[in-house]
Structure formats: C-alpha cells, structure tokens
Structure 1
Amino acid sequence: MSKRNGLAHRLYTGEISYDFIGNAKRFYIVSAVILAICLASLGFRQLNLSIDFTGGSEFVVPTQVTQTTVDDYREVVQDSTVPDLGEIKVNTVGDNQVRVQVRALTAEEINDVTALLAAKAGVPTEQVTNNLIGASWGQQITQQGLIALVVFMALVSLMIWAYFRNWKMSAAAILALVHDLIVTAGIYSILQFAFTPATLIGMLTILGYSLYDTVVVFDKIRDNTRDITQQNRTFAAAANLAVNQVLVRSINTTIIGVLPVAALLFTGVFVLGTGPLKDLGLALFVGMIAGAYSSLFLAAPLYVQMREREPELAAHRRRIERGAKRTKRAADEPAETVEEAAATVSGVSSEPVLSASGTPVDPVRLGTVRGVDLPRSQPQRSTRAARKKDAR
C-alpha cells in the first residue's frame, strides 16, 4: 500500500476522519463514569499506603541471594504467629542481603520475627538488624510530593500560556492532567497495590508524558485554526481535522512508550512479586494510557468548546451553517425544464397565451417581442402558413 493510500495519509488529508468534537458528550460521560468509580474507591477503599507513609518495621537479614530468596522469606514471615502483618514487602539488597518490611510491631513481635528470620538464614539473631520507620517520614514525603505537584501545575499553566498565548489551552490541559491523576490513583485503590514513594515518582512522571501529548494536539489545532474567520469551515471542523491528523502519531507514541513499561510491570508483578518495579510500572502503565486518552478525547474538545463561545467564532460558525443550509436547499430543489426556465425568464407562464382577440400566441414569438432570446427545439412555422395548411 502506497503512502498516499495509507491510513495516516487519509486521516491527514481529511479523506476519512472521526468526529472527536461532535462526539465530545459521549467521551465526557465515559470519563465521568470512570472518575466516579475511581473517586468512590478512593473514598471507601482508600489507598493501600506503604510503611513509608504509615510507618512500620524493617528487618535486614544477611543471606546469600538466590532466585527463591524473596518468596522463601515472605513465607517465613507469613507463617509466623504475629497477627495482621498487612502487606509484607520483601526485596533483595545486592547479592548478600534481604530486606523485609511489615507494619509497626511491638517489642515482643519484633523478637519473634527476628528469631524466625535468623533461623531461616542460619545466622545469630544479633546479625538481623531491625529499624522502626516513623509515620513522620511518610508525612514529609507526602508534603514534598504535593508541593512538587502544585509547582508542576503552575509551571505547566504558565508554559502553555506563554507558548500558545491562550489561557484556555492551559485550562484544558490542566483538567486533562487532573483526570489522569485521579484515574491512576483510583486504579491503585481498586487493585490495592501498595502506594509507595516509587508510585509517587511514577505519577509525577506521567504528568510530563500527558502534557507532551496534549501540546502536540494543541500545536496542530493552532496551525489549522490560524485565520479561521477567513476560512470556509468552522473552528470545530478545523480542530477536528487536527486531532485526526495527529491520531496515528499519538497511537504510535503511546504503544512504543507502553511496551517497555508493560515489561517492567510484568517483571515486578509476576517475577519479583514486589519492589519498586511493581510500584512504578503500574503508575506509568495506567498514566500513559490515560494521558493519551485525555489529550485526544478530553483536552481538545474542552478547548474547542471554550473557544467557540467567543462572539467572533460563534458568528463565524453561524455564517458557515447558514451557507451550508442554503447550499443543501438549492441541491434538494428539482431542476426546471428548458421550457419552464425560458418561460420564467420571459415572464410567460407554461399555459397558452391568448391575444386580445382570443387567438393563441406563439410563446417564442412573444419572448422575442419582449426582448428575450429563447432556445428553439425545432424550426418554427409561421402562423399564416399553419392556417393555410389547416384550411386545405
């Protein structure tokens, strides 16, 4: 298939297109349902915060790391008599240490877990170190993360305004970013994946990716809508063409970005079972897909709707719509015959025209008298010759 017949070329030229702007309400409804589910889960199930946020106990055991080390030590802690350990995080440190993290334990519970871990590793209990992680550390991480989020949003708004010279683009982009954050956090709440500092880093990372995709869409919309009032199309039509023109690019970019992230997520969930790869992978995977969706289906329609409320663009749209209605009405009217058209031009009806004495008058002759040159389908005979023939 040649490039001119390819999907990307046909989308770019407008030969085929999907009405993103016209179907915006459908996307708003879908997004509203998704956001409602995510917010409900965040409100009732809440996030499964790791001990980095809630506080807990950490044990470091010296042992030779093998492929089954993580699973073996997790089973040891799970089989202990200590109740309600919550999520047990086990990961290796280098090739000669394993780290176990559980909820905050009492002194007696710490001794029991230490003894089990030392017995598994075959080392004295003195070589198993334990630390208590306070909740204040998690509060500091949360505070710094929120500050970073607010600063990022403010800088993004200023950057988009400075680049496009349009605050409505900034508003649409920020709404799309908020959508991506809520969806990503909601998925963590629904699946009850541990929300760790790595997750927070991943969520801040997806904001940049989502913003990049949105800026690409907005840049094409700006190109297509430059001097829009001088064009024979509405702002919405030009913007919809722009979204279709970058559609293939957005899909390809998303797929290329998601594939390695999916590999990280698979490794973290099914191979390692825990650790930063699992926490970071899910945030990136969900956030990148949500970012591509929001750029095409939310940010662009929101921006178009805000712009089309401007008086100048609203008046331009009405002019285009009136012209389209006139064209359609003219195309729907049946075509007149040559004789009817000629009669209309000359002011002569299709009915026979009578003279003052009641004798029929030739319409073509009458048209000639009135100064209208009517087409003749065949040579015309004079009225006198016709009367002579009839007399015979």
Structure 2
Amino acid sequence: MAAKEKPDAEATEITEAGDGAVEPSSSDAAGLPHHSFLSRLYTGTGAFEVVGRRRLWYGISGAIVAVAILSILLRGFTFGIDFSGGTTVSMPAAGSSGTVQTSQVSEVFKKAIGGDPESVVIVGSGGSATVQIRSETLNNDQSTKLRNALFDAFQPKGTDGKPNKAAISDSAVSETWGDQITDKALIALGVFLVLVGVYIMIRYERYMAISALLTMVFDLTVTAGVYSLVGFEVSPATVIGLLTILGFSLYDTVIVFDKVEENTHGFQHTTRRTFAEQANLAINQTFMRSINTSLISVLPVLALMVVAVWLLGVGTLKDLALVQLVGILVGTYSSIFFATPLLVTLRERTELVRNHTRRVVKRRAPDARSRGEAAPDDADEQTDPSDAAPAGEDASTEAVTKPAPNKPAPGARPVRPTGTRRPTGKRNAGRR
C-alpha cells in the first residue's frame, strides 16, 4: 500500500494544456503566497512559467526569424573590402585648413576618378582621426591621381606635423581574395557546427543535441538578420566574433540542459511532476546564472566598443565588439526561451513522456484527491494476477470499488493477527 503524501502547492489543482503540458489552475495560483520579482528570480522555485507558455515564445521567435530572413533576402549584407574586394585610401583627418569633411573628400574623389566612392568615413577622434575612403578596385594610375588630388586639396600632415604626401596610403584587395576568405569562413562555420553536434550527441541524448543545434541555427540567423537590417559591415573580424558567440550560446544552453538532465533523471518513477514541469523548474533554477553570465560577458564588450569607436577608432575591434554584443543578447534569449521549450516539445512526442504525463494528470484528478489516495509509483502500480477483473468488467472500476483480498482498504487501521503475543522487547522472552 502506497503511503499517503500531501500534495505540494505546485501539484494541487492542475489542468492538461492543449500541447500536453500540465499547468496549475487559477484557483490554486490565487492561493499561493506572493513573493517579489527578485525573490522569485533568486530562489528559482519555478514561479516563472516558460515551458507552459512555449507557444508564445515560439511565436515571438518565429517572428524574429521571419524578419531576419526577409532582411537578408531583401537588403542583403554590407560586405567589407576583404570579402567584396576594392581599394581603401586612408589619410589623416587634420589638414592645413583644419579638419577634413567627408563631403569635401567625396567631391575631390569624384573630380579625380570620375565617379562616387562607395563610402567615406572618419574613424577615431582628435589628432588620431583618419579619413577612410572605400571604392571599387583602382589601378595604379588612378590611385596615384587620387593621392595627388587629395594632397593638393587638404595638405594632410605627417608625423612631424608638416604636410606630407606619404601620409596618404592605399591598399587594394582583389575579388579572388575575397572569395577565398568567404569560403574559409563558411568551412570554419561548418566544422564548428559538426564538432558541436558530435560532442552533444556523445555527452547528452539525441533530443538535446537536436535542440542545441537548432538553437545555434536560430542564433546565427538572427545575428545575421540584425547585421543586414542595421547595415553593419561584415568583415573577417565579424566571422571570428560569430564563432565566439555561437560558443557562448552553446555554453549557456549546456548549463540549462545539465540542470534539465539532473531534474528529469528517473522522472518516470515518480508522479510528482511532469517532464515539462521538471524542465521549467530547471530553467528557473538557472535564470540567475544565465543573467549573471550574460552581464559579465556584456560589460567587457561594451568597454571594447567604447575604446574601439570613440578612442582608438579601430575598425577591427569595432566589428568584433558589435557581433559579440548582438550574439550575447540573442544567445541568452535562445538558451532560455527557445532551447529548453524545444527540447520538451521533442520529448513529449515520445511514448514514455506521454504515458508519464497521463499518469500525473490521473494522479492529480479531483476524484483521486477526494479519496485521499497517494500517487502510485511504477513499483506500486504492479498488481497481483489474482486481483484481475472478471471478463466483461472494467478493471479500473473493479480496483476502485472492490478492495483486493487479504489487503486492508485505503485508510483502514492496521489489525494485528489473532493468536499472537505483543512483543515485550526482551531478548529470549519466548524461550522461558
């Protein structure tokens, strides 16, 4: 006979949701004690319903991915010179007539070359500010003509503080080199995804591996969509940063999956919580760890952006910081609101989880609670073959209405067999 157990606050009034998840009813939710937001966040007691509302998060995630894909298809990417090829001309922004303006540089370029430059930007601030001109690939004669025109118009100063033509530099990258960089970047990304998939397959179950890989695809798509939507320039530093943030996203996802694996170990042997509820509890228990990890990662990235953009004006550091900032935010969201709900959805398609969810729902049914019966575990659900119901009768009804022979009814007081003596507690009492 299973021992009676008092149902906890989380397992009292529940209903079965349409997607198979078991959620608390509003009547019990109103009776639970209310705690502050920070208290629930730090204690991680399962107060935040993430898995039970996964349809909402699927809708939000789907909308984000749709916007990202549309932006990629319609707007495309702004590839750096390393990918698309071209010529870059740089010179100090401080000239004999003061600070150079981008509009003035564009006019000089158009008169010297006969066309508009692709971009003219001022990088850095103060005395270290430089003007960077990007255009299609120029030959040697065009590069020489442009440098002479820029020097005549602005008189840029060299390191000695005097006008110097050598202060103007140019570099060219062929389209073939850009294609090679693109191919290597794609190969590196593919190898990374394969190695990650193999590791998770070995370390965890296949459903966790599928969820983690789809989560990384989500992070990759959304980050690329943000770059396309905002117009950030894609450079080799962007690819390096992208591999970095995919590793961060995987790290955060593995943290949550570790807790899910710990909570759901042997879940089929108890009917206290469903698989979805155990996974939701794991998310709550790792909320603060994910938030703290993200904050610790974002702070140095913000510092890197400040140093790179406003102080040094280094384009490589700026590109690296931008992709890391976007990736950390996207990775934190996906590890909490996408990876684990997706894992639960995949696991609920298995017969083991579906049967266990039905047992939990049956155990928490109002009639079972009114009888005061406890939830039978797998070991307690085994019955004697002699107790089987006769043919034509419902076995479940027979088990409820007619107690098994030689077994006390539920709630009955134990009866000591007749003809036996009460133990005295003394050794060898029966031999005297």
TM-score by length of 1: 0.73
Q: Which residue in 2 is equivalent to 1:104?
A: 136
User: Are residues 1:291 and 2:331 paired?
Assistant: yes
Matched, 1:121 2:156: yes
The alpha-carbon deviation at position 282 of structure 1 amounts to: 1.3
1:265 equivalent in alignment to 2:300:
no
Question: Which residue among 333, 338, 349 is the counterpart of 1:309?
Answer: 349
Give the alignment of 1:1-392 within 5 angstroms.
10=40, 15=45, 17-59=47-89, 72=100, 77-82=105-110, 83-88=115-120, 100-107=132-139, 109-119=142-152, 120-121=155-156, 125=165, 128-164=168-204, 166-232=205-271, 233-271=273-311, 275-326=315-366, 330=370
Within 1, Cα distance between the matches of 2:52 and 2:70?
A: 29
Could you say if the C-alpha distance between residues 330 and 262 of structure 1 is closer, same or farther in structure 2, counting changes exceeding 3 Å? same
Contact 1:53/1:137 (8 A) holds in 2: yes
In structure 1, C-alpha distance between the alignment counterparts of 2:367 and 2:147, rounded to whole Å: 85
Structure of greater Rg: 1
Following TM superposition, by how much is the alpha carbon of 1:200 offset from its aligned partner in structure 2, in angstroms?
Answer: 1.2
- 2:88 counterpart SS class: strand
Q: Distance in 2 between the 1:118 and 1:146 partners?
A: 41
**Change beyond 3 A, Cα 1:220–1:98:** same
RCO (CA 8 Å, sep 6+): is it higher in 1 or 2? 2
Query: Would the aligned equivalents of 2:86 and 2:134 in 1 still touch at CA under 8 Å?
Result: yes
State the SS of the aligned residue for 1:121.
coil
Structure 1 residue ranges without an equivalent (≥5): 332-392
CA contact (8 A) 1:90 1:275 kept: no
Contact kept, 8 Å, 1:53 with 1:141, in 2: the verdict is: yes
**What SS does the corresponding residue of 1:84 show, helix, strand or coil?**
coil
Q: Which has the higher helix share?
A: 1
Identity rate, percent: 37
Compute the displacement of 1:32 (Å). Answer: 0.9
Alpha-carbon distance, 1:8 to partner = 7.4
Could you tell me how far apart the structure 2 residues matched to 1:90 and 1:198 are? 20
Paired AA for residue 121 in structure 1: P
Secondary structure at the counterpart of residue 329 of structure 2? helix
* In 2, Cα distance between equivalents of 1:58 and 1:272: 19
The number of aligned residues is 320
| Amino acid of the structure 2 residue aligned with 1:149 | L
TM-score by length of 2: 0.67
- The unaligned stretches of length 5 or more in structure 2 are 1-34, 158-162, 372-432
Distance 1:97 1:198 in 2: 21
